Amino acid sequence: MKKLFVILLFFSTCLSSYAGNADKFSYNADELQNEFSDLQSLESMFIGNQNLTIADFEQMDIDWLNRIDLENMKCASPVQAMFGVDDMEWGAFAWGFCCSPIGFFLVAISDEKSNNEKLSYWIGVVISSLLGSIAAIANPTPGTSLYTGY
Amino acid sequence: MRIIQHFKFLLLTFVLASSALQIYAQTFSRIEADFSIKEKDIAGNKILTIGHVYFDKNIRKIVLDISFPNKIIIVASDSLVYIIKDDSLVNTSPATVPIDFTVYNLCLNNTLEFYGLKETPYKLEELEKDSDLIITTWDLPDDETAGKLMLSQKDKKLTGMINFDSEGIILSKYFFENYTNIDGVEFPAKMIQYMFVLDKKTIKVTTHRNIKINEMGNNYFYDYPVPSGR
Protein backbone atom coordinates (compact mmCIF):
# COMPACT_ATOMS: atom_id res chain seq x y z
CA MET A 1 0.00 0.00 0.00
CA LYS A 2 2.83 2.33 0.95
CA LYS A 3 4.62 1.47 -2.31
CA LEU A 4 1.50 2.17 -4.32
CA PHE A 5 1.14 5.53 -2.60
CA VAL A 6 4.78 6.42 -3.39
CA ILE A 7 4.33 5.39 -7.04
CA LEU A 8 1.13 7.44 -7.34
CA LEU A 9 2.84 10.42 -5.71
CA PHE A 10 5.79 10.08 -8.10
CA PHE A 11 3.56 9.98 -11.18
CA SER A 12 1.41 12.87 -10.04
CA THR A 13 4.56 14.96 -9.42
CA CYS A 14 5.85 14.05 -12.89
CA LEU A 15 2.55 14.88 -14.49
CA SER A 16 2.18 18.20 -12.71
CA SER A 17 5.69 19.36 -13.67
CA TYR A 18 5.13 18.20 -17.23
CA ALA A 19 1.80 20.01 -17.50
CA GLY A 20 3.51 23.15 -16.19
CA ASN A 21 6.01 23.24 -19.04
CA ALA A 22 3.41 22.62 -21.72
CA ASP A 23 1.42 25.44 -20.17
CA LYS A 24 4.31 27.86 -20.73
CA PHE A 25 3.85 27.45 -24.49
CA SER A 26 0.47 29.09 -24.61
CA TYR A 27 -0.82 32.60 -25.07
CA ASN A 28 -4.17 34.32 -25.08
CA ALA A 29 -5.18 34.42 -28.76
CA ASP A 30 -8.30 36.50 -28.02
CA GLU A 31 -6.26 39.10 -26.18
CA LEU A 32 -3.86 39.25 -29.12
CA GLN A 33 -6.72 39.60 -31.60
CA ASN A 34 -8.28 42.45 -29.59
CA GLU A 35 -4.93 44.14 -29.11
CA PHE A 36 -4.22 44.40 -32.81
CA SER A 37 -7.67 44.52 -34.44
CA ASP A 38 -7.31 48.21 -35.37
CA LEU A 39 -3.83 47.67 -36.80
CA GLN A 40 -5.21 44.68 -38.72
CA SER A 41 -7.83 46.95 -40.34
CA LEU A 42 -5.14 49.53 -41.14
CA GLU A 43 -2.96 46.83 -42.68
CA SER A 44 -5.82 45.53 -44.84
CA MET A 45 -6.63 49.05 -46.04
CA PHE A 46 -2.99 49.77 -46.95
CA ILE A 47 -2.53 46.45 -48.73
CA GLY A 48 -5.70 47.22 -50.70
CA ASN A 49 -4.24 50.52 -51.86
CA GLN A 50 -0.48 50.84 -51.42
CA ASN A 51 -0.47 54.40 -52.75
CA LEU A 52 -2.03 55.58 -49.50
CA THR A 53 0.31 57.42 -47.16
CA ILE A 54 0.01 57.98 -43.44
CA ALA A 55 -1.07 61.57 -44.22
CA ASP A 56 -4.00 60.17 -46.22
CA PHE A 57 -5.03 58.04 -43.25
CA GLU A 58 -4.85 61.07 -40.96
CA GLN A 59 -7.47 62.83 -43.05
CA MET A 60 -9.92 59.92 -42.92
CA ASP A 61 -12.64 60.00 -40.30
CA ILE A 62 -13.15 56.34 -39.48
CA ASP A 63 -13.98 55.11 -36.00
CA TRP A 64 -11.31 52.43 -35.71
CA LEU A 65 -8.74 54.68 -37.40
CA ASN A 66 -9.31 57.40 -34.82
CA ARG A 67 -8.24 54.96 -32.13
CA ILE A 68 -4.78 54.58 -33.68
CA ASP A 69 -2.09 57.10 -32.77
CA LEU A 70 -0.97 57.82 -36.34
CA GLU A 71 1.11 60.81 -35.26
CA ASN A 72 3.21 58.59 -33.01
CA MET A 73 3.45 55.93 -35.69
CA LYS A 74 4.60 58.52 -38.22
CA CYS A 75 7.38 59.64 -35.90
CA ALA A 76 8.38 56.13 -34.87
CA SER A 77 11.23 55.11 -37.10
CA PRO A 78 11.25 51.54 -38.40
CA VAL A 79 14.34 51.00 -36.23
CA GLN A 80 12.26 51.77 -33.18
CA ALA A 81 9.50 49.56 -34.46
CA MET A 82 11.86 46.68 -35.02
CA PHE A 83 14.53 47.02 -32.39
CA GLY A 84 13.11 49.56 -29.91
CA VAL A 85 16.33 51.54 -29.69
CA ASP A 86 15.51 55.13 -30.65
CA ASP A 87 14.50 56.65 -27.31
CA MET A 88 17.00 54.62 -25.38
CA GLU A 89 19.03 56.09 -22.53
CA TRP A 90 22.20 54.73 -24.06
CA GLY A 91 24.36 54.91 -20.91
CA ALA A 92 21.94 52.83 -18.89
CA PHE A 93 21.37 50.54 -21.86
CA ALA A 94 25.12 49.91 -22.12
CA TRP A 95 25.30 48.98 -18.43
CA GLY A 96 22.55 46.46 -18.89
CA PHE A 97 23.93 45.23 -22.16
CA CYS A 98 27.59 44.82 -21.25
CA CYS A 99 27.76 44.11 -17.56
CA SER A 100 24.37 43.60 -16.05
CA PRO A 101 25.49 42.54 -12.53
CA ILE A 102 27.36 45.84 -12.06
CA GLY A 103 24.60 47.74 -13.82
CA PHE A 104 22.06 46.33 -11.40
CA PHE A 105 23.61 48.24 -8.50
CA LEU A 106 24.39 51.37 -10.50
CA VAL A 107 21.10 51.77 -12.33
CA ALA A 108 18.36 49.37 -11.42
CA ILE A 109 18.26 49.98 -7.66
CA SER A 110 19.48 53.57 -7.61
CA ASP A 111 16.90 56.16 -6.57
CA GLU A 112 18.74 58.82 -8.53
CA LYS A 113 18.05 57.17 -11.89
CA SER A 114 14.99 58.05 -13.93
CA ASN A 115 12.38 55.49 -14.94
CA ASN A 116 13.60 55.76 -18.53
CA GLU A 117 17.11 54.91 -17.47
CA LYS A 118 15.89 51.95 -15.41
CA LEU A 119 13.77 50.70 -18.28
CA SER A 120 16.69 51.10 -20.66
CA TYR A 121 18.83 49.09 -18.27
CA TRP A 122 16.33 46.24 -18.21
CA ILE A 123 15.98 46.27 -21.99
CA GLY A 124 19.77 46.06 -22.10
CA VAL A 125 19.71 43.07 -19.77
CA VAL A 126 17.09 41.32 -21.88
CA ILE A 127 18.88 41.98 -25.16
CA SER A 128 22.21 41.09 -23.58
CA SER A 129 20.75 37.83 -22.37
CA LEU A 130 19.34 37.05 -25.79
CA LEU A 131 22.61 37.97 -27.42
CA GLY A 132 24.48 36.07 -24.73
CA SER A 133 22.70 32.93 -25.83
CA ILE A 134 23.30 33.70 -29.45
CA ALA A 135 26.91 34.76 -28.87
CA ALA A 136 27.53 31.47 -27.14
CA ILE A 137 25.99 29.73 -30.10
CA ALA A 138 28.04 31.70 -32.58
CA ASN A 139 31.22 31.28 -30.57
CA PRO A 140 32.40 27.73 -29.91
CA THR A 141 34.00 28.78 -26.59
CA PRO A 142 31.28 29.11 -23.99
CA GLY A 143 31.41 32.21 -21.84
CA THR A 144 33.02 34.52 -24.36
CA SER A 145 31.00 37.56 -25.18
CA LEU A 146 29.99 39.10 -28.45
CA TYR A 147 31.52 42.45 -29.34
CA THR A 148 28.74 44.91 -28.83
CA GLY A 149 30.29 48.05 -30.20
CA TYR A 150 30.19 49.96 -26.92
CA MET B 1 22.35 -10.48 -74.35
CA ARG B 2 22.60 -10.89 -70.60
CA ILE B 3 25.50 -8.46 -70.47
CA ILE B 4 23.41 -5.85 -72.30
CA GLN B 5 20.56 -6.37 -69.84
CA HIS B 6 22.98 -5.96 -66.94
CA PHE B 7 24.36 -2.84 -68.53
CA LYS B 8 20.84 -1.41 -68.99
CA PHE B 9 20.03 -2.14 -65.36
CA LEU B 10 23.26 -0.48 -64.21
CA LEU B 11 22.58 2.53 -66.40
CA LEU B 12 19.04 2.87 -65.05
CA THR B 13 20.31 2.58 -61.47
CA PHE B 14 22.95 5.22 -62.15
CA VAL B 15 20.41 7.63 -63.69
CA LEU B 16 17.97 7.15 -60.80
CA ALA B 17 20.72 7.54 -58.19
CA SER B 18 22.10 10.68 -59.79
CA SER B 19 18.62 12.26 -59.97
CA ALA B 20 18.02 11.39 -56.33
CA LEU B 21 21.35 12.92 -55.39
CA GLN B 22 20.52 16.03 -57.40
CA ILE B 23 17.24 16.46 -55.52
CA TYR B 24 19.00 15.87 -52.22
CA ALA B 25 21.72 18.34 -53.05
CA GLN B 26 19.26 21.07 -54.06
CA THR B 27 20.17 24.09 -52.01
CA PHE B 28 17.96 26.93 -50.97
CA SER B 29 19.80 30.20 -50.91
CA ARG B 30 17.21 32.94 -51.34
CA ILE B 31 13.94 33.93 -49.73
CA GLU B 32 11.78 37.00 -50.23
CA ALA B 33 8.31 37.89 -48.97
CA ASP B 34 5.89 40.65 -48.11
CA PHE B 35 5.79 41.19 -44.37
CA SER B 36 3.95 43.17 -41.75
CA ILE B 37 4.84 43.76 -38.11
CA LYS B 38 2.19 44.72 -35.60
CA GLU B 39 3.79 45.80 -32.39
CA LYS B 40 2.83 47.08 -28.98
CA ASP B 41 5.92 48.61 -27.42
CA ILE B 42 6.79 48.97 -23.75
CA ALA B 43 5.05 52.36 -23.53
CA GLY B 44 1.86 50.87 -24.96
CA ASN B 45 2.27 52.51 -28.39
CA LYS B 46 0.96 50.45 -31.28
CA ILE B 47 3.02 50.47 -34.45
CA LEU B 48 2.40 48.90 -37.85
CA THR B 49 5.26 48.31 -40.27
CA ILE B 50 4.69 46.92 -43.77
CA GLY B 51 7.31 46.04 -46.35
CA HIS B 52 9.13 43.42 -48.39
CA VAL B 53 12.10 41.37 -47.17
CA TYR B 54 14.94 39.94 -49.27
CA PHE B 55 17.56 37.52 -47.98
CA ASP B 56 20.33 35.63 -49.78
CA LYS B 57 22.31 33.44 -47.37
CA ASN B 58 25.44 33.73 -49.51
CA ILE B 59 25.33 37.53 -49.50
CA ARG B 60 24.43 37.58 -45.77
CA LYS B 61 22.32 40.74 -45.84
CA ILE B 62 18.69 41.03 -44.76
CA VAL B 63 17.16 43.84 -46.82
CA LEU B 64 13.83 45.30 -45.68
CA ASP B 65 12.13 47.55 -48.22
CA ILE B 66 9.62 49.29 -45.95
CA SER B 67 6.62 51.05 -47.46
CA PHE B 68 4.63 51.95 -44.31
CA PRO B 69 4.60 54.08 -42.17
CA ASN B 70 7.61 55.66 -43.91
CA LYS B 71 9.38 54.67 -47.10
CA ILE B 72 12.75 53.47 -45.96
CA ILE B 73 15.27 50.67 -46.58
CA ILE B 74 16.92 48.71 -43.77
CA VAL B 75 19.98 46.61 -44.52
CA ALA B 76 21.02 44.28 -41.68
CA SER B 77 24.38 42.54 -41.80
CA ASP B 78 26.11 40.43 -39.14
CA SER B 79 27.53 43.46 -37.38
CA LEU B 80 25.58 46.57 -38.43
CA VAL B 81 22.12 47.75 -39.36
CA TYR B 82 21.92 50.54 -41.95
CA ILE B 83 18.89 52.82 -42.41
CA ILE B 84 18.62 54.29 -45.89
CA LYS B 85 16.14 56.99 -46.88
CA ASP B 86 15.93 58.60 -50.32
CA ASP B 87 19.16 56.79 -51.32
CA SER B 88 21.05 58.34 -48.39
CA LEU B 89 22.42 56.57 -45.34
CA VAL B 90 20.68 58.19 -42.36
CA ASN B 91 21.60 55.87 -39.49
CA THR B 92 23.94 53.02 -38.60
CA SER B 93 23.52 50.95 -35.45
CA PRO B 94 24.90 47.65 -34.08
CA ALA B 95 23.09 44.51 -35.23
CA THR B 96 21.15 42.68 -32.53
CA VAL B 97 20.93 39.21 -34.05
CA PRO B 98 23.61 37.42 -36.10
CA ILE B 99 22.40 36.46 -39.58
CA ASP B 100 22.91 32.74 -38.84
CA PHE B 101 20.15 32.76 -36.23
CA THR B 102 17.52 34.65 -38.16
CA VAL B 103 14.44 32.67 -39.10
CA TYR B 104 15.23 33.24 -42.79
CA ASN B 105 18.65 31.61 -42.58
CA LEU B 106 17.46 28.78 -40.33
CA CYS B 107 14.59 27.95 -42.71
CA LEU B 108 16.81 27.96 -45.80
CA ASN B 109 19.23 25.63 -44.01
CA ASN B 110 16.38 23.45 -42.74
CA THR B 111 17.58 23.90 -39.14
CA LEU B 112 14.65 25.83 -37.66
CA GLU B 113 13.25 22.66 -36.04
CA PHE B 114 15.76 23.00 -33.17
CA TYR B 115 16.49 26.71 -33.80
CA GLY B 116 19.94 25.65 -35.05
CA LEU B 117 20.91 24.58 -31.50
CA LYS B 118 22.11 21.14 -32.58
CA GLU B 119 25.11 22.75 -34.26
CA THR B 120 26.07 24.76 -31.16
CA PRO B 121 27.64 24.11 -27.75
CA TYR B 122 24.12 23.97 -26.27
CA LYS B 123 23.26 20.53 -24.89
CA LEU B 124 19.87 18.87 -24.74
CA GLU B 125 19.10 18.61 -21.05
CA GLU B 126 15.51 17.39 -20.93
CA LEU B 127 12.84 16.02 -23.23
CA GLU B 128 9.13 15.89 -22.43
CA LYS B 129 6.20 14.65 -24.47
CA ASP B 130 2.72 16.07 -24.52
CA SER B 131 -0.06 14.54 -26.62
CA ASP B 132 0.99 16.66 -29.58
CA LEU B 133 3.94 18.69 -28.29
CA ILE B 134 7.56 17.72 -27.75
CA ILE B 135 9.29 20.06 -25.32
CA THR B 136 13.07 20.15 -25.08
CA THR B 137 15.22 22.10 -22.65
CA TRP B 138 18.68 23.24 -23.72
CA ASP B 139 21.50 24.45 -21.54
CA LEU B 140 25.04 25.65 -21.95
CA PRO B 141 27.26 23.39 -19.85
CA ASP B 142 29.94 25.12 -17.75
CA ASP B 143 28.33 28.54 -18.12
CA GLU B 144 26.24 29.58 -15.15
CA THR B 145 25.56 33.05 -16.53
CA ALA B 146 23.63 31.77 -19.55
CA GLY B 147 19.97 30.97 -19.13
CA LYS B 148 18.21 27.93 -20.50
CA LEU B 149 16.24 27.73 -23.71
CA MET B 150 13.06 25.72 -24.02
CA LEU B 151 11.74 24.66 -27.42
CA SER B 152 8.41 23.12 -28.36
CA GLN B 153 7.78 21.11 -31.51
CA LYS B 154 4.75 19.68 -33.18
CA ASP B 155 4.96 17.41 -36.23
CA LYS B 156 8.73 18.05 -36.36
CA LYS B 157 8.18 21.80 -36.66
CA LEU B 158 9.32 24.40 -34.15
CA THR B 159 6.22 25.94 -32.56
CA GLY B 160 7.64 27.83 -29.60
CA MET B 161 10.80 29.04 -27.90
CA ILE B 162 11.21 30.39 -24.38
CA ASN B 163 14.32 32.24 -23.25
CA PHE B 164 15.12 32.16 -19.53
CA ASP B 165 17.67 34.13 -17.55
CA SER B 166 20.15 32.34 -15.28
CA GLU B 167 17.62 32.55 -12.41
CA GLY B 168 14.97 30.76 -14.47
CA ILE B 169 12.84 33.84 -15.07
CA ILE B 170 11.21 34.03 -18.50
CA LEU B 171 12.67 36.86 -20.59
CA SER B 172 10.92 36.23 -23.88
CA LYS B 173 8.58 33.84 -25.66
CA TYR B 174 8.34 33.19 -29.39
CA PHE B 175 5.62 31.31 -31.22
CA PHE B 176 5.99 30.05 -34.80
CA GLU B 177 2.73 29.39 -36.61
CA ASN B 178 1.05 28.95 -40.01
CA TYR B 179 3.84 26.92 -41.58
CA THR B 180 3.82 27.08 -45.37
CA ASN B 181 5.78 24.73 -47.61
CA ILE B 182 7.30 26.69 -50.49
CA ASP B 183 9.23 24.52 -52.94
CA GLY B 184 10.37 22.27 -50.09
CA VAL B 185 11.12 24.96 -47.52
CA GLU B 186 8.91 25.00 -44.42
CA PHE B 187 8.45 28.62 -43.33
CA PRO B 188 6.39 29.88 -40.36
CA ALA B 189 4.32 32.65 -41.95
CA LYS B 190 3.29 33.99 -38.54
CA MET B 191 5.61 34.69 -35.63
CA ILE B 192 4.57 36.08 -32.26
CA GLN B 193 7.07 37.50 -29.84
CA TYR B 194 6.52 38.46 -26.21
CA MET B 195 9.28 40.23 -24.30
CA PHE B 196 8.98 40.71 -20.56
CA VAL B 197 10.62 43.80 -19.08
CA LEU B 198 10.00 44.56 -15.39
CA ASP B 199 6.25 44.09 -14.99
CA LYS B 200 5.53 45.08 -18.59
CA LYS B 201 5.53 43.15 -21.82
CA THR B 202 5.99 44.01 -25.46
CA ILE B 203 4.14 42.09 -28.15
CA LYS B 204 5.20 41.76 -31.77
CA VAL B 205 3.31 39.82 -34.43
CA THR B 206 5.16 39.35 -37.72
CA THR B 207 3.33 37.89 -40.71
CA HIS B 208 4.74 36.98 -44.13
CA ARG B 209 2.85 36.70 -47.42
CA ASN B 210 3.77 35.88 -51.03
CA ILE B 211 6.86 33.97 -49.93
CA LYS B 212 9.23 33.05 -52.76
CA ILE B 213 12.24 30.72 -52.61
CA ASN B 214 15.31 30.95 -54.87
CA GLU B 215 13.84 33.86 -56.85
CA MET B 216 16.44 34.85 -59.39
CA GLY B 217 15.14 38.37 -60.09
CA ASN B 218 15.58 41.40 -57.85
CA ASN B 219 19.36 40.97 -57.61
CA TYR B 220 19.67 44.66 -56.79
CA PHE B 221 17.63 44.28 -53.59
CA TYR B 222 19.26 41.03 -52.48
CA ASP B 223 22.64 42.78 -52.49
CA TYR B 224 21.40 46.29 -51.80
CA PRO B 225 24.31 48.72 -52.00
CA VAL B 226 24.72 50.73 -48.80
CA PRO B 227 25.47 54.36 -49.69
CA SER B 228 28.36 56.08 -47.96
CA GLY B 229 27.52 58.07 -44.81
CA ARG B 230 26.50 61.71 -44.51
Encode pLDDT of A99-143 as tens digits.
444 444 455 545 555 665 655 565 556 555 555 554 444 444 433
pLDDT band at B7 (very low <50, low <70, confident <90, very high): low
Under an 8 A CB cutoff, do B97 and A36 touch? no
Mean per-residue pLDDT, B8-37: 68
Under an 8 A CB cutoff, do B48 and A80 touch? no
Mean per-residue pLDDT, B185-211: 90
What does the mean pLDDT of chain A come to? 62
Q: Where are the domains of chain B?
A: 2-109+169-222
Whether the predicted pLDDT of B21 surpasses 80: no
- The tally of domains found in chain A comes to 2
Query: If you average pLDDT over each of B30-39, B69-78, B114-123, which comes out highest?
Result: B30-39
Q: Is B39 on the interface with A (CB under 8 A)?
A: yes
What pLDDT does residue B92 have? 83
Last residue of a domain, one of A75, A90, A113: A75
> Mean pLDDT lowest for which of A9-18, B47-56, B175-184?
A9-18
Q: Is B192 on the interface with A (CB under 8 A)?
A: yes
Q: Is A64 on the interface with B (CB under 8 A)?
A: no
Mean per-residue pLDDT, A19-37: 88
Are residues A46 and A93 located together in one domain of the fold?
no
Are residues A146 and A127 located together in one domain of the fold?
yes
pLDDT band at B177 (very low <50, low <70, confident <90, very high): very high
Are residues A91 and A148 located together in one domain of the fold?
yes
What pLDDT does residue B201 have? 87
Whether the predicted pLDDT of A85 surpasses 70: no
Distance (Å) from the alpha carbon of B38 to chain A's nearest alpha carbon: 7
Q: Tell me the pLDDT tens digit for each residue of B149-170.
A: 899 999 999 999 998 888 888 8
Whether the predicted pLDDT of A83 surpasses 50: no
Under an 8 A CB cutoff, do B133 and A22 touch? yes
Last residue of a domain, one of A75, A90, A114: A75
Query: Which domain does A89 fall in, by range?
Result: 78-150
Q: Is B171 on the interface with A (CB under 8 A)?
A: yes
Are residues A88 and A120 located together in one domain of the fold?
yes
Are residues A24 and A88 located together in one domain of the fold?
no
Question: DSSP string of chain B?
Answer: -HHHHHHHHHHHHHHHHHHHHHHHT----EEEEEEEEEEE-TTS-EEEEEEEEEEETTTTEEEEEEEESS-EEEEE-SSEEEEEETTEEEEEEE-SS-GGGSHHHHHHTT-GGGTTGGGSS-EEEEEEE-SS-EEEEEE-TT-TTSPPEEEEEETTEEEEEEEE-TTS-EEEEEEEEEEEEETTEEEEEEEEEEEEETTEEEEEEEEEEEEEES--S-HHHHTPPPPPP-
Distance (Å) from the alpha carbon of A3 to chain B's nearest alpha carbon: 25
Q: Output the CATH code of domain B2-109+169-222.
A: 2.50.20
